[in-house]
Amino acid sequence: MGTGPGLLSPLSVNGLELINRIAMPPMANNKATLAGDVTDAIIEHYLKHCAGVGLVIVEHSYVKPAGRANPNQLGIHEDSNVPGLARLATAIKGAGPASAIQITHAGARTTHAAAGSEPEGPSPLPLPRSAVVPRELTPADLAELIGMYADSARRAKRAGFGAVELHGAHGYLLNQFYSPLTNQRRDRYGGSREARLRFVLEVVDAVRTAVGPGYPVMYRLGADDLIDGGISPDDGVYAAIQLARHGVDLIDVSGGLGGSEPPGSDREGYFDYLSAAIKAAVSIPVMVTGGVKQPETADRLIREGQADLVGIGRALLADPAWAVKGAGMLRRTR
């Protein structure tokens, strides 16, 4: 067992102070209005799960209606969304944790029915196990989208969230651009690993400019597509290094096109091989999520240097007091 910081140690992320290293990762509820606005049900959900948590990352919020994955997904695409988001940010802050909100575009991971328009993507290729063929985004579309990500990040800051997270995992648009399985463009945004990451880094640069240097920018990185021919763990490390160089303050490690869980995996912390490799390559904090159920497991991941934060998803949904109970258990055993 390592002797460094543990699960209950505080952490600072570009000035955002966390009381501990327990994070509630972004998990979609699809309880927003059809306009993407916050509802009382969303606020009640987050308040229920704040106890003892260091960081709450609010579920993915679309930067453009065509990027919705679900009609009742939370939106951050218009200034009219800000008052409701501010209510949510204030509620979380009042309950104790630091807060972040994830911003996203679903790309090909949507349908016409959900998005209200033809799905968009880097290339006219369906995602694995999908029949949806998206419209290829033009360079002009990409320039417009970069501005939408930046505007959404400004709204996150104005609403009072302590950080903003870009969603580049689980087969969403930024993941699609980086993966060779879904990006077969012939322009400057496709081809080599460097070129496939170009749009991602341009989005990061615009977001960093929009929120300024003293505001935390996080990135959820699909560091392994879990599919032959897709993003490999080595590609994940390469992307993390570039993201850090472009001003990202925290890498939130997860799976890529293959989803948030390796097939057949029942091991706690199943993405620790990715977080450990990335943590060894960058100097910014690294978060890992992946089937962690026991506080001892989360504590070990941090003490052994495999991550700096641990996302507790399903276990926290199942037991909103997980963090409080876990902290008590760890203190009794130390």
Angle at 130 between CA 125 and CA 133, to 5 degrees: 35
* Cβ-based burial of 185 (10 A; exposed 0-12, middle 13-18, buried ≥19): middle
Angle at 57 between CA 308 and CA 202, to 5 degrees: 85
Confirm whether 149 is a catalytic residue.
no
Q: Which residues contact 115 (CB under 8 A, 6 or more apart)?
A: 65, 66, 67, 68, 106
Cα–Cα distance for residue pair 215/14, rounded to 1 Å? 7
Give 305's DSSP letter: T
> Do β-strands 11-13 and 16-18 pair in parallel, antiparallel, or remain unpaired?
antiparallel
77 closest CA partner among 116, 124, 109? 116
DSSP H helix total and E strand total for the chain? 12, 13
Q: Which residues contact 273 (CB under 8 A, 6 or more apart)?
A: 233
Cα–Cα distance for residue pair 213/195, rounded to 1 Å? 25
* Cβ-based burial of 145 (10 A; exposed 0-12, middle 13-18, buried ≥19): buried
Q: 10 Å Cβ neighbour count for 41?
A: 10
Q: Which of 46, 149, 172, 215 is catalytic?
A: 172
Contact 134, 183 (CB under 8 A): no
Cα–Cα distance for residue pair 254/265, rounded to 1 Å? 14
The dihedrals phi and psi of 271, each to the nearest 5 degrees, come to -100, 15
Contact 240, 251 (CB under 8 A): yes
Residues marked active site are found at 172
